[in-house]
Amino acid sequence: MDLFNQSQEPKPRTFEKHLLKDGEVWYMPNFIPSDKAKDYFKTLLNNVNWRQEEIKLYGKTFPVPRKTAWYGYDGFNYKYSGILCNPEPWTKELLDIKRVIEFFLKEERFNSVLLNLYRDGNDKVSWHSDNEKGLGINPTIASVSLGVTRRFDLKRKDDPDQKLRLELSPGSLVVMKGALQHHWLHQIPMQKKINQPRINLTFRTIKE
């Protein structure tokens, strides 16, 4: 495996491990070398089948404040916020990234990926946890960032003063592990001054 075929001076790739109360967040800023991260960003921006989904809240319909897509092995459907996703087949780029994540995480195998496109700082994802039934108990979720740096916030459900804030730089990898999704919420807040796009890939394992 070429681990993204680094053309630049290779940087050591290790996780910063945030061991929280009931859950872990691992962060690797230079998971994908910057040239390669720019290439992936362009290819995914232009070639992914981005969808504008809608959600219903209090009887009204609203556009989701970002574009999304769902890719993976056939049959691994995903439902969140009332939106049912049938996977598009893996692209070469998504499979390459998935294989390198699995190399670093050793025991994890992912069968699908949710993609988010934040067109600018007005796009966001509100406080939530990835606790849908289909992900099973204590899911490991691996999240790759491409494009502009955005803030990622976590807070504990029963004690919002317990927080973690990370700046997700392009080419970085975040891994959420353990009981985190039961006890913590996360968000990408609106950042109105940002006028460039970001793509996020969250690799997941849907249980059959």
Chain contacts with ligand AKG (rule: CB under 6 A): 114, 116, 125, 130, 143, 152, 168, 186, 188, 200, 202
* Min dist. Cβ of residue 125 to ligand AKG (A): 5
CB-based contacts of 41: which residues, under 8 Å, 6+ apart?
146, 147, 170, 199
* Min dist. Cβ of residue 145 to ligand AKG (A): 6
* Min dist. Cβ of residue 161 to ligand AKG (A): 21
Contact between residue 194 and residue 121 where contact means Cβ atoms under 8 Å apart: yes
* Min dist. Cβ of residue 85 to ligand AKG (A): 12
* Min dist. Cβ of residue 130 to ligand AKG (A): 5
Radius of gyration for the alpha carbons in the chain, expressed in angstroms and rounded: 16
Closest C-alpha among 9, 37, 48, 49 to residue 173: 37
CB-based contacts of 49: which residues, under 8 Å, 6+ apart?
69, 88
Residue number with the shortest CB distance to ligand AKG? Answer: 200
C-beta of 4 vs 78, nearer to ligand AKG: 78
C-beta of 105 vs 125, nearer to ligand AKG: 125
Closest C-alpha among 82, 138, 134 to residue 111: 134
C-beta of 111 vs 143, nearer to ligand AKG: 143
C-beta of 33 vs 170, nearer to ligand AKG: 170
Q: How far apart are CA 118 and CA 103, in angstroms?
A: 28
C-beta of 6 vs 50, nearer to ligand AKG: 50
Contact between residue 169 and residue 207 where contact means Cβ atoms under 8 Å apart: no
